Structures are given as structure tokens and as C-alpha cells.
Amino acid sequence: MITNTLIKILEFTALLCVGLSLYIIGLMLRSVKKRTTPVEKKPEPIKEKTIMSKEASEGITFNDIFMFMIAVPLVLLWVGFAGFVIHTGLNNSAVLENIEAYTTLIAILGGPALLIIKDALDVWKQEQAEKTAFYKIKAQAVIDYNDASQKQAQMIESKAQEQEHKMETKK
């Protein structure tokens, strides 16, 4: 009974992954078709070109496709299956009798899933470090600006006082 339910869930997940991968392949083919099909455009007035970052101009990369077709479904399948085994194990003693088979399957799925999660966390840490460095530079720039502004205000006030003093001594 439990194994039939488990098999149905795995089949459904596999079908969902296949459907998602077909959808992503369709999007990629549509994108390639748009790039290769020449489109006649009316001449536009010359505008100043905006400089785009390298990341914004790259589009979909192999790593994006890999993550959406393999990594994301694998991690979701691993977490879902582990949650299912825990949930059914608490409610059904038959699952506890075959727990070795279930834990083996969880371990097989868990190895690659944990590597993917670790890499995703490393990328996230790197982004956070870049943000922190950016905010440190930005904060230092604000401090420097405020310091320069204060020195300039003091210099203007000092020059105004000198001018006042000169005007008083001439009278």
C-alpha cells in the first residue's frame, strides 16, 4: 500500500520534471528563433547607448538550464521523499520495517542534493560578501563626503569671519 503510494508520487514527480524540462526547452527554442529571425525595423533616431552590465547581456546560460532541469527537481524530490518517509513512518509501522530501503534511497538522492545545496549556499555567501563590501565602500564615501562638506563649511565660515575682521579694521 505504502510502496504503491510512494511509486505514484515518484511517477508524478518524474512527469512533472519532464513537463518542466519540455517547457524550458520550448522557451529556449523560442528565444533562439527570435535571435535568428531578422526583423525589419524603422530607422530610429540616434540615442545615447546605455552601458549594460555583462550579466544583463548574457541571457540564459547552461548553468541556468542545469539548475532548472536537474538541480532544483533533485533537491525538491529529495526533501519531499524524506518528508514523506518521516510522515508515513510515524503513521504506519510497515514503513518502519522497511526503513533501511527508504534511508538508502534518501542517501542516494541526498548526496548530489547536498552538493547542490552547498554550492547554492556558497554563491549566496559570495553575494552577501559583495553586498557587504559595497555597503562598506558606500558608507566610507558618505563619511568622506560629510567630512569634506563640514571642512568646506568651516572654511567658508572662517573666510567670512576674516573678511568681517578686515572690514572692521578698515573703518
Residue 63 lies in a domain: yes
Q: Which pLDDT tens digit goes with each residue over 57-85? A: 456 767 667 777 777 788 888 888 888 88
> Which are the contacts of 88, defined by CB distance < 8 A and separation ≥ 6?
2, 5, 95
Residue 135 belongs to some domain of the structure? yes
Domain membership flag for residue 28: yes
Share of the chain above pLDDT 70, in %: 78
Cell numbers at residue 69, please? 532541469
Band of residue 138 on the pLDDT scale cut at 50, 70, 90: very high
Q: Any idea which residue has 540564459 for its cell?
A: 60
Res 19 pLDDT > 70:
yes
Judge whether 94 lies within some domain.
yes
Q: Which domain holds residue 115?
A: 2-36+59-170
**Is 54 domain-assigned?**
no
Helices (H), 37-60: 54-58
Q: Do residues 106 and 58 make contact, with C-beta atoms less than 8 angstroms apart?
A: no
Do 85 and 106 meet the contact criterion of CB atoms below 8 Å apart?
A: yes
Q: How many CA atoms lie within 13 A of 7 on its CB side?
A: 4
Tell me how crowded residue 73 is: count the other CB atoms within 10 A of its CB. Answer: 19
Q: What's the mean pLDDT in 76-101? A: 82
Question: Is 85 inside any structural domain?
Answer: yes
Q: Is residue 129 part of a domain?
A: yes
Number of domains in the chain: 1
On whether residue 53 sits in a domain, the answer given is no
* Residue 2 in this model has a pLDDT that exceeds 80: no
Stretch 100-126: mean pLDDT? 84
**0.95 surpassed by pTM:** no
pLDDT at residue 168, rounded to an integer? 87
d(CA 19, CA 25): 10
